[in-house]
């Protein structure tokens, strides 16, 4: 009898663990991506970008989530900051992925201004009840080593300061390979986008598991 009770208890514990793991994904979530051309499928076929691949991965894994891609080619952190309140009001996301800063860097805009805009976007997202994933960017060295280093470091500093997860460099494994880039040497080819998703997914997945 004692052994039977122990077996029942063990079974109950296992069922609770399974239920907890299942419920972590059970509630449907809306994932809002606010980015620039790197997320807006610039120069590639529709459906080939990392955001579309993310949407497909969620479907393949039967994870209840809706992905809204609000990325705009040429977007800066200032533009994203301006657009975000309306996007939050319209889509009411559970998760906001902020992929911005590349155009600020390419225009040589002050790092402090980009940091201020990104910080405001994190704050606005949280006030709307969303969790945030920040996606980092690294400038090509020909834009000035000092500026490029400060720009890249800004993401890590901000991430720690506001306590949000960071995908450090979305083009890791891509920017270093010309064969994965379009002729402008800035935008990735379609073949690079699975790599980009691979850089972002490990940092996004834990957020998807939270209730």
Residue 5 confidence (pLDDT) above 90: no
Active site residues: 37, 184, 187
In terms of DSSP H, where are the helices of 27-144? 50-60, 77-91, 102-106, 111-127
Within a domain: 6: no
- 175 occurs within a structural domain: yes
The average confidence (pLDDT) of the chain is 90
CATH number at residue 114: 3.40.50.1110
Identify whether 111 is part of a domain: yes
Residue 130 counted as domain residue: yes
Domain range for 89 is: 25-209
CA atoms within 13 A on the CB side of 77: 28
Average pLDDT in the 177-205 region?
Answer: 98
- Would you state the pLDDT for residue 1? 52
Q: How long is the chain?
A: 211
| Residue the block writes with tokens 């009001």 | 89
Number of domains forming the structure of the chain: 1
Say yes or no to pLDDT of 14 above 60. no
Residue pair 169/152 in contact (Cβ under 8 Å)? The answer is yes
Q: Is residue 60 part of a domain?
A: yes
What secondary structure letter does DSSP report for 36?
Answer: -
pLDDT of res. 79? 99
**β-pairing, 95-99 with 65-69?**
unpaired
pLDDT value for 21: 41
Is residue 9 very low, low, confident or very high in pLDDT (cuts 50, 70, 90)?
Answer: low
pLDDT at 162 over 50: yes
In a domain, 143, yes or no: yes
Residue 71's region, left for phi above 0, alpha for psi from -120 to 50, else beta, is beta
In a domain, 13, yes or no: no
Whether 185 is in a domain gets the answer yes
98, pLDDT greater than 50: yes
């Amino acid at each position: 009898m004692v052994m039977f009770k122990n077996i029942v208890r063990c079974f109950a514990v296992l069922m609770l663990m399974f239920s907890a793991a299942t419920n972590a994904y059970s509630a449907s979530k809306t994932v809002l991506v606010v980015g620039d051309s790197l997320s807006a499928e610039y120069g590639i076929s529709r459906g080939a970008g990392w955001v579309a691949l993310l949407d497909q991965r969620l479907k393949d894994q039967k994870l209840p989530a809706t992905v809204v891609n609000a990325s705009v080619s040429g977007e800066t952190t200032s533009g994203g900051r301006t657009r975000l309140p309306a996007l939050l009001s319209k889509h009411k996301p559970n998760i906001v992925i902020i992929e911005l800063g590349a155009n600020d860097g390419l225009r040589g805009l002050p790092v402090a201004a980009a940091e201020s805009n990104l910080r405001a976007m994190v704050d606005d997202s949280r006030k709307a009840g969303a969790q945030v994933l920040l996606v980092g960017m690294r400038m090509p060295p020909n834009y000035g080593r000092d500026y490029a280093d400060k720009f890249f470091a800004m993401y890590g500093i901000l991430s720690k300061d506001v306590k949000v997860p960071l995908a450090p460099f979305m083009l890791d494994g891509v920017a270093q390979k010309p064969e994965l880039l379009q002729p402008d040497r800035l935008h990735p080819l379609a073949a690079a986008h699975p790599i980009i998703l691979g850089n972002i997914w490990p940092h996004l997945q834990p957020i998807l598991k939270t209730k």
